[in-house]
Chain A
Amino acid sequence: GNSVTQMEGPVTLSEEAFLTINCTYTATGYPSLFWYVQYPGEGLQLLLKATKADDKGSNKGFEATYRKETTSFHLEKGSVQVSDSAVYFCALSGSNTNAGKSTFGDGTTLTVKP
């Protein structure tokens, strides 16, 4: 079946540091890949997504590139801010015959200190 493995946290960075959160996946076919963010006390919200190999998703300074050869979708940001402190989830969604279900990683908690 499908699976998503995320870099274990927690991750603590100083403001303006470079961020990488690793994500690798196992899936049949050509899944779509997502990063969701969960701010304290809130539900998950989409951060960015990519649908095919070599696609780059980007939003709010975050980027991730769909690498089929390494089955990876690592999240990066060049300069983090305190407001980026949150839990980040990598996810994949397979074909529509699977009722649109997504497979989520366990989440990585990011804390950014001033």
Chain B
Amino acid sequence: NAGVTQTPKFRILKIGQSMTLQCTQDMNHNYMYWYRQDPGMGLKLIYYSVGAGITDKGEVPNGYNVSRSTTEDFPLRLELAAPSQTSVYFCASRSVGSSYNEQFFGPGTRLTVL
């Protein structure tokens, strides 16, 4: 199993540009999440999904959109990039079941908006 994969690893955007961060998991997990991690800070939840076709906002959804057309894929869309969106973005997934189940993280996408 590859686990959770994310592309690209790095990206530099100009203000106002748009892009999609890709996330795929091959563990058949129903739950998926997008986080951002600012330097020296913890994780903030952007959006999450409990299954294909179902998404919901987390703590910091403004400026982002998501979709979940399949169990495997959970792309994150930035429509009008702003310097405040400079961050490292992590995708994670988790299986349904006990709260004992941990989240599995991708390697992250480091985004800089100039």
A106 within 8 A of B: yes
Chain A residues, Cβ within 8 Å of B45: 101
Q: By the criterion CB–CB under 8 Å, are B48 and A43 in contact?
A: no
Chain A positions 82-110 with a Cβ under 8 Å from a chain B Cβ = 89, 93-96, 99-102, 104-107, 109
A93 to B58, CA, bound (A): 15
Chain A residues, Cβ within 8 Å of B105: 36, 43-45
Which residues of B are in contact with A by a Cβ distance under 8 Å? 4, 31, 33, 40-43, 45, 48, 50, 56, 58, 90, 92, 94, 96-108
> What 1/0 flags go to A20-53 for Cβ under 8 Å of B?
0000000000011010100001111110010100
Chain A residues, Cβ within 8 Å of B43: 44, 89, 104
Q: By the criterion CB–CB under 8 Å, are B42 and A96 in contact?
A: no
| Chain B nearest CB, measured from A102 CB (Å) | 6
A100 to B18, CA, bound (A): 30
Q: By the criterion CB–CB under 8 Å, are B99 and A99 in contact?
A: no
With A101-B45, A104-B42, A105-B42 as given contacts, are A96 and B96 in contact (CB-CB < 8 Å)? yes
Q: By the criterion CB–CB under 8 Å, are A31 and B41 in contact?
A: no
Residue of A nearest to B31 (CB): A100
Q: By the criterion CB–CB under 8 Å, are A42 and B100 in contact?
A: no
Q: By the criterion CB–CB under 8 Å, are B107 and A32 in contact?
A: no
> Which of A41, A96, A99 sits near B98, CB closer than 8 Å?
A96
Chain B residues, Cβ within 8 Å of A101: 33, 45, 48, 58
Query: Which are the 6 A-B pairs with shortest beta-carbon distances?
Result: A43-B105, A106-B42, A100-B31, A93-B99, A46-B102, A32-B99
